[in-house]
Amino acid sequence: MAAFDDVRAIALALPETEEREGGWRMGPSWRVVGGAMFAWSRPVTGKDLAWMRERGEDPGDPVLGVRVAGDEAKRELLAAFPRVAFTIPHFDGYASVLLRLPLVDPGLLRELVIVSWLLQARRRTARAWLAEHGLAEE
């Protein structure tokens, strides 16, 4: 069972990463320093919650948002992990997915947070991290 403390540990171990506390019902978010978010708390409320309930779905709690490499990666993730990964109309057209954090396997969580970070990190920083960990840049 994953929690925000697990996300925090993974995210803050990555170079040039900072945590910020969100406003209006939002919890923590993780960003590349001076840049964009790569993981964030994302409660499902309002129209999106009503939309899910109409379909007999429950977002669960807590929910984590992460960036993905594009529409194809989003579709593949949603198909491969239907209990864990989901989307809402608010994210139509955006390369992001939502995760039911308590259902995410720790290994998958680590992979998704790192991939999301790689998508937002400065290229030089990402390349250095990949080389340091013996991974080829994809």
CATH number of the domain where residue 67 is located: 3.90.1150.30
Please check whether residue 60 lies inside any domain of the structure: yes
Tens digits of residue pLDDT in 79-88 = 999 999 999 9
**Model pLDDT, residue 26:** 75
Please check whether residue 95 lies inside any domain of the structure: yes
Please check whether residue 137 lies inside any domain of the structure: no
**DSSP code, position 101:** G
Spans in the chain with pLDDT lower than 70 = 23-25, 136-138
Q: CA of 2: how far to CAs of 23, 62, 118, 128, in Å?
A: 23, 10, 21, 28
Q: CA of 128: how far to CAs of 69, 84, 124, 133, in Å?
A: 19, 31, 6, 9
Please check whether residue 138 lies inside any domain of the structure: no
Distance CA 71, CA 96 (A): 9
Please check whether residue 54 lies inside any domain of the structure: yes
Please check whether residue 136 lies inside any domain of the structure: no
Q: Which domain holds residue 88?
A: 4-124
Residue 17: other Cβ atoms inside 10 A: 21
**Model pLDDT, residue 44:** 87
**Model pLDDT, residue 137:** 58
Q: Is the pTM above the cut of 0.85?
A: yes
Comparing CA positions, the residue from 114, 104, 99 lying closest to residue 1 is 104
What total number of domains does the chain contain?
Answer: 1
Please check whether residue 113 lies inside any domain of the structure: yes
Please check whether residue 135 lies inside any domain of the structure: no
